[in-house]
């Protein structure tokens, strides 16, 4: 069942309160994105992949944080 606008608003307020003082992007990136997608009732695993391997323009291997 889709979330109502009030549910999304409540979840977004809870999300901002939880993350407002976070300072370590690398340590909390996966949790942050999981919580962000949850605001909208979406499982991050359904729509995104962490550390996706890619070939960069210079031919070297790289990774996209979230694709």
Specify the higher pLDDT residue, 1 or 57.
57
pLDDT for the residue numbered 65: 86
Q: What is the residue extent of each domain of the chain?
A: 5-66
E-state strands within the chain: 50-55, 61-66
Measured in degrees and rounded to the nearest 5, phi and psi for residue 22 equal -70, 135
What are the residues facing 19 on neighbouring strands? Answer: none
Asked if residue 25 has pLDDT above 90, the reply is no
In percent, the amount of the chain with pLDDT more than 70 equals: 100
Q: Is there a contact between 52 and 40 (Cβ–Cβ < 8 Å)? A: no
Could you read off the pLDDT of 29-56 as tens digits, one per residue?
899 999 999 999 999 999 999 889 999 9
Cα(8)–Cα(38) distance, rounded to whole angstroms?
9
């Amino acid at each position: 069942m889709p979330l109502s606008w009030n549910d999304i608003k409540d979840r977004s307020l809870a999300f901002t309160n939880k993350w407002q003082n976070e300072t370590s992007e690398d340590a909390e990136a996966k949790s942050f994105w999981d919580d962000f997608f949850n605001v909208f009732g979406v499982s991050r695993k359904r729509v995104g992949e962490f550390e996706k391997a890619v070939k960069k323009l210079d031919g070297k291997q790289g990774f996209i944080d979230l694709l």
